[in-house]
Chains A and B, each alone.
Chain A
Amino acid sequence: MGETQVVAGCSHSVEADRIPAVIRVSALRKEYGKQSAIAGISLEVQKGEIYGLIGPDGAGKSSLMKIVAGVLTFDAGEIEVFGVSLNSDSNAERIKDRIGFMPQGLGLNLYPDLSIEENIDFFANLRLVQSSQLTARKQKLLEMTHLEAFRARPMKQLSGGMKQKLGLICSLIHEPKLLVLDEPTTGVDPVSRRDFWAILGVLLKEHGTTALVSTAYMDEATRFHRVALLFGGQVVAQGAPEEIQQLVPARIVAITIPSPAVALSRLRAEFPQIEALGSLLQVFVEDKAGLDARARVVRVLGDVKPARVETMDPQLEDVFIALLRIKKLTTEPDRTSTLPAAPVSNPTQPKTPYAIEAKELVRDFGGFKAVNKVSFRVAPGEIFGLLGANGAGKTTVIKMLTGILPPTAGSGSVAGADMQTAGRKIKERIGYMSQAFSLYLDLTVEENIKLYAGIYGLPASVARERFRWVVQMAGLEGRESKAAQSLPMGLRQRLALGCALVHRPQILFLDEPTSGVDPVGRRRFWEILFTLAREEGVAILVTTHYMNEAEHCDHLALMFAGRVVADASPSDMKSEVERQSGKLVEIDAVHTSAALDLLVKAGFKGSVLFGSRIHVFSKDVPGDTERIKAALSEDPARSILPRSLTMEDVFVERVMALEQAVETTKNGAVS
Chain B
Amino acid sequence: MVATSEWKFTRRDVLKLGAVSMSALAIPRVMAAPAATGPVSPPVMAKVAMEVNGKPQALDLDTRTTLLDALREHMHLTGTKKGCDHGQCGACTVIVDGRRINSCLTLAVMHEGAKVTTIEGLGTPDKMHPMQAAFVKHDGYQCGYCTPGQICSAVAVLDEMERDIPSHVTGDLKAKAAVTRMEVRERMSGNICRCGAYSNIHDAIEEVAGGTA
Verify that A and B bind, or say they do not.
no
- Which positions in A face B, CB cutoff 8 Å? none
- Which positions in B face A, CB cutoff 8 Å? none
